[in-house]
C-alpha cells in the first residue's frame, strides 16, 4: 500500500512560505529581513493557488519561495545583524544608566561594519551582467544626489552618490561613450553604450526637492547602499580598462565652490582630464613649470622629432585599406523598394568625439550648466565657459572673450549689439571686466537655445542655428528612441507628405461650414423650415412678394448686356441663371430646399469627392468579398488588425487637423 500524502506537506504548501514564518526561521527582525532580501535580490512570489499555499487560511499574506529562505540561512550578514542587535541593547542599557560616554564609544567604535562585496560577486558573475543592471542603479543614485540632506537622507549618502555619479560621467567624457539624450517632463534621459551594452538612466532637474513623508526612505536607502557598492565596482573596472587610476583625485575645496566635474583630476597613461587640460597647457606655456633644455640636447630632440615626423607622414600618405575603412560606418540599403528596412548602425566614439570639437561655448546663467557641460564635453568640446555665479572649473568666466564661438542662452530675443569701446581710452583690465548686459549681443558670435545641443547630439551633426535663435519658436523635441511607423503621425515630416488624398479639402470645408453655421443660423433655418411647412399645408401657396422679387431679378439680369468681347459667354451665363432661377421657383412652390449653385471649382471638387467615395466603396466591397473566403479565426484576427489600424489612423488624422489649424492661424496672423 502506497504511503498517503498528508495535507500541507507537499505541493504549493511546501514550496511557499509566508513572511512571518520566514522571519521566525531566520530569527531576525522584520526591517533586517527586508534589508537582507533587498541585498540578495529575493522578492515576494505569488502562488498559483493562494488557498493551497496558505493552507486554507483566509487572511492575506506575503509568500516567498522556501528554497530562497533556506538559501538565506547561510548568509554571513545574519551574524552582522545579530551583532548590531546585541550592540543596540548595550547602548540602550548604557543610556539607561546615564553612561553617555560609554554609549557614544560603543556606537562609534563597536558598531560592526557591513560589507556587500561578496553579494555583488554572487549576483553578478560577469561584468556584462552588472552593466545590464546599471540602469536602475544610476537613476536612483542621480536622484539621491539631488535630494536635500535630512534625517532620513544623511549628507554623507548624498555626497557619496554625487561623487560616484561624477566619476561615471568622467568615464563617459573620456571614452565618448554617450550616444543620445532627451529632455522630458520627468527629467533628462541619457543613453550610453559600454562594451556593447546600451545603458539608459534618468537624471532629475536641479530644482528644490521637497522630501515628503509618504515615501519610505529606509527601503530606498537600502537600495542606495547596495547600488553604491555596485557602481563603485563598475567604476573601478571601467577606469582600469582604459588605463585610468581609480579613484580619481578629488578636490573638496573646488567642489564646495561649485566645480562639480572640475573637482576631479584623472591620471594614468599620460591621460589628463578634459576639465584640467587647458589650465595645464597655459601653465606650460608660461615657462615657469617648463624645464629649459640645453642647446645640444634641444638640437638632438629636434632632429629626432623631424625624423619621426617624416616617417609618420610617409605612413599617413599610404594608409591600408583596413585603416581607410576603420572610421566609416556601413549603411544597409534594401535590395528591393518594398523590402524591409534594416536598422542602421549607430555612430562610433570617433564621430561623437568630433561633434563639438571645433566650437568654444559659453553658458549663460539661466541655462542648466551641468547637463549642458556634460553633453558638450562628452561630444568633443574642450573649452566651455560660464559665469562666475555658476561655479569654478570654466575655461573662461569672461563673456566678452573673443574665442567664444557659440553662446547658449534661454532669454527673449537679443537684437542690440554690444557698444564698442573704440575711441575710448580704456585699459585691458577694463575690457576684460566688461560685462554684457541682458539684451546685448556680441558681434561674430552665434546665440542658440539649449535645445540645439540636445538635437545636435541626437541627430549626430550640427544643425542650423537660425531655427534655435533666442526668441524663435523651437521645433518639436522628439524622443530619439521612438521612430514613427507607417500610418502614424510624424511631426518631423510636412503635412503634404502625410495627408491622405482630399483630406485637407474636406477639413477646410468643415471649418468653413462650422464658422458660417452658428446657433443663430440654426434657429433661422428651423424658423424657415417651419414657415415652409405651414405654406405647404396651406395649399402650396408661395410667399408674398417672391414673384415680384424674382421678376425684378430677371429684369436686372436681362438689362445687363455684358461686354462686347464676351457676348457668347454672357449669353450662356444668362441661360444658366435663368435655369437656376426657374429651379428655385419650382422648389419654393413645392416646399423643397432651394438648390445651391456651384462654381466650376466647386463642381470639380464635388466630382473628385464622389470619385473618392466610389473608389472607397469599391475597395470596401472587395475587402468584404475577400473576408468571406477566410476562415473564422483569420477573419477575427483581420478585424482586430483593422480596428487597431483605424484607431491609429484616427489619432493621426486628429493630430494633422490640429497642426493644419495652427498653421492656418499662423499664416493669417502673419
The residue to which cell 563598475 is assigned: 234
Closest CA to 242 of 100, 356, 326, 349: 349
* Crossing angle (nearest 10°) for helices 217-241 and 155-175: 30
In tens, the pLDDT along 140-170 reads 999 999 999 988 899 999 999 999 999 999 9
Where a domain ends, among 224, 246, 273?
273
Q: Is the pTM of this model over 0.75?
A: no
Residues 234 and 214 placed together within one structural domain of the fold: yes
One domain, residues 103 and 166: no
- Asked if the model's pLDDT at residue 79 lies above 50, the reply is yes
Question: Is residue 431 pLDDT above 60, yes or no?
Answer: no
Does residue 84 have a pLDDT over 70? Answer: yes
Whether residues 148 and 164 share a domain: the answer is: yes
Structural domain of 367: 348-417+432-482
In this predicted structure, the answer to whether residue 629 has a pLDDT above a threshold of 90 is: no
Q: In this structure, is residue 81 part of a structural domain?
A: yes
Over residues 579-603, mean pLDDT: 71
* Alpha-carbon distances, residue 594 vs 450, 496, 543, 587, 603 (angstroms): 60, 37, 14, 6, 17
Q: Are residues 153 and 63 part of one domain?
A: no
Q: Tell me: pLDDT of 539 over 50.
A: no
pLDDT of residue 502: 64
Highest mean pLDDT among 300-314, 346-360, 501-515, 597-611: 346-360
Is residue 33 in some structural domain? yes
Report the distance separating Cα 366 and Cα 24, nearest Å: 57
Check whether residue 400 and residue 461 sit in a common domain. Answer: yes
Q: What is the pLDDT of residue 343?
A: 52
Q: pLDDT class for 555, splitting at 50, 70, 90?
A: very low
- 179 and 42 share one domain: no
Q: What is the reported pLDDT for 58?
A: 64
Q: What's the distance, CA 63 to chain centroid?
A: 38
* Final residue in a domain of this structure, among 242, 273, 304: 273
| Residues 470, 441 within the same domain | yes
Q: Are 28 and 176 within one domain?
A: no
The number of distinct structural domains making up the chain is 3
- Least confident window among 235-244, 385-394, 431-440, 487-496: 431-440
Which pLDDT band holds residue 647 (cuts at 50, 70, 90)?
A: confident
Give the 3-state secondary structure of residue 362: strand
> 103 and 122: one domain?
no
Q: Which range is least confidently modeled, 195-204, 263-272, 469-478?
A: 263-272
Amino acid at each position: 500500500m502506497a504511503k498517503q500524502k498528508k495535507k500541507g506537506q507537499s505541493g504549493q504548501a511546501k514550496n511557499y512560505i509566508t513572511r512571518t514564518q520566514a522571519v521566525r526561521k531566520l530569527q531576525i527582525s522584520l526591517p533586517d529581513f527586508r534589508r537582507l532580501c533587498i541585498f540578495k535580490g529575493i522578492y515576494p512570489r505569488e502562488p498559483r493557488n493562494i488557498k493551497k499555499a496558505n493552507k486554507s487560511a483566509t487572511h492575506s499574506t506575503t509568500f516567498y519561495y522556501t528554497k530562497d529562505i533556506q538559501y538565506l540561512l547561510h548568509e554571513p550578514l545574519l551574524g552582522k545583524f545579530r551583532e548590531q542587535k546585541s550592540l543596540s541593547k548595550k547602548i540602550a542599557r548604557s543610556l539607561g544608566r546615564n553612561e553617555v560616554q560609554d554609549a557614544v564609544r560603543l556606537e562609534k567604535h563597536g558598531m560592526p561594519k557591513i560589507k556587500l562585496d561578496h553579494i555583488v560577486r554572487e549576483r553578478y558573475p560577469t561584468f556584462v551582467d552588472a552593466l545590464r543592471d546599471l540602469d536602475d542603479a544610476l537613476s536612483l543614485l542621480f536622484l539621491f544626489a539631488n535630494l536635500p540632506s535630512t534625517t532620513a537622507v544623511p549628507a554623507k549618502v548624498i555626497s557619496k552618490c554625487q561623487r560616484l555619479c561624477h566619476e561615471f560621467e568622467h568615464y563617459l567624457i573620456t571614452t565618448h561613450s554617450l550616444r543620445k539624450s532627451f529632455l522630458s517632463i520627468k527629467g533628462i534621459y541619457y543613453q550610453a553604450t559600454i562594451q556593447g551594452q546600451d545603458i539608459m538612466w534618468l537624471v532629475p532637474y536641479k530644482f528644490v526637492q521637497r522630501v515628503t513623508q509618504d515615501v519610505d526612505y529606509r527601503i530606498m536607502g537600502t537600495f542606495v547602499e547596495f547600488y553604491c557598492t555596485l557602481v563603485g565596482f563598475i567604476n573601478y573596472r571601467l577606469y582600469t580598462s582604459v588605463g585610468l587610476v581609480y579613484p580619481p583625485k578629488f578636490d573638496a575645496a573646488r567642489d564646495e565652490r561649485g566645480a562639480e566635474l572640475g573637482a576631479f583630476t584623472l591620471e594614468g597613461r599620460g591621460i589628463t582630464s578634459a576639465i584640467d587640460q587647458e589650465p595645464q597647457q597655459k601653465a606650460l606655456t608660461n615657462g615657469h613649470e617648463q624645464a629649459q633644455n640645453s642647446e645640444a640636447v634641444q638640437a638632438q630632440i629636434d632632429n629626432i622629432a623631424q625624423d619621426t615626423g617624416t616617417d609618420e607622414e610617409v605612413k599617413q600618405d599610404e594608409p591600408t585599406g583596413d585603416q581607410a575603412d576603420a572610421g566609416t560606418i556601413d549603411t544597409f540599403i534594401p535590395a528591393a523598394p518594398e523590402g524591409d528596412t534594416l536598422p542602421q548602425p549607430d555612430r562610433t566614439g570617433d564621430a561623437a568625439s568630433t561633434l563639438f570639437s571645433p566650437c568654444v561655448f559659453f553658458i549663460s546663467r539661466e541655462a542648466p550648466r551641468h547637463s549642458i557641460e556634460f553633453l558638450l564635453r562628452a561630444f568633443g568640446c574642450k573649452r566651455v565657459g560660464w559665469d562666475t555665479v555658476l561655479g569654478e572649473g570654466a575655461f573662461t568666466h569672461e563673456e566678452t572673450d573673443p574665442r567664444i564661438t557659440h553662446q547658449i542662452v534661454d532669454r527673449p530675443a537679443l537684437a542690440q549689439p554690444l557698444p564698442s569701446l573704440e575711441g575710448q581710452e580704456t585699459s585691458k583690465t577694463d575690457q576684460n571686466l566688461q560685462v554684457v548686459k541682458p539684451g546685448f549681443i556680441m558681434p561674430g558670435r552665434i546665440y542658440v537655445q539649449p535645445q540645439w545641443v540636445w538635437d545636435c547630439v541626437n541627430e549626430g551633426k550640427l544643425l542650423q542655428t537660425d531655427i534655435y535663435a533666442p526668441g524663435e519658436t523651437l521645433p518639436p523635441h522628439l524622443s530619439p528612441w521612438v521612430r514613427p511607423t507607417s500610418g502614424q503621425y510624424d511631426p518631423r515630416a510636412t503635412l503634404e507628405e502625410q495627408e491622405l488624398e482630399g483630406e485637407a479639402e474636406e477639413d477646410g470645408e468643415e471649418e468653413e461650414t462650422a464658422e458660417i453655421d452658428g446657433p443663430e443660423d440654426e434657429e433661422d433655418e428651423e424658423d424657415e423650415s417651419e414657415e415652409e411647412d405651414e405654406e405647404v399645408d396651406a395649399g402650396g401657396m408661395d410667399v408674398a412678394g417672391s414673384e415680384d422679387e424674382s421678376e425684378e431679378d430677371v429684369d436686372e439680369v436681362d438689362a445687363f448686356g455684358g461686354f462686347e468681347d464676351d457676348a457668347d459667354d454672357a449669353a450662356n451665363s444668362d441661360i444658366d441663371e435663368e435655369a437656376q432661377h426657374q429651379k428655385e421657383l419650382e422648389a419654393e412652390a413645392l416646399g423643397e430646399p432651394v438648390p445651391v449653385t456651384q462654381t466650376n471649382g466647386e463642381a470639380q471638387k464635388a466630382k473628385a469627392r464622389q470619385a473618392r467615395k466610389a473608389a472607397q466603396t469599391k475597395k470596401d466591397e472587395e475587402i468584404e468579398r475577400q473576408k468571406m473566403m477566410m476562415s473564422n479565426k483569420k477573419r477575427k484576427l483581420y478585424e482586430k488588425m483593422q480596428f487597431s489600424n483605424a484607431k491609429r489612423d484616427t489619432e493621426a488624422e486628429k493630430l494633422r487637423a490640429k497642426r493644419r489649424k495652427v498653421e492656418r492661424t499662423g499664416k493669417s496672423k502673419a
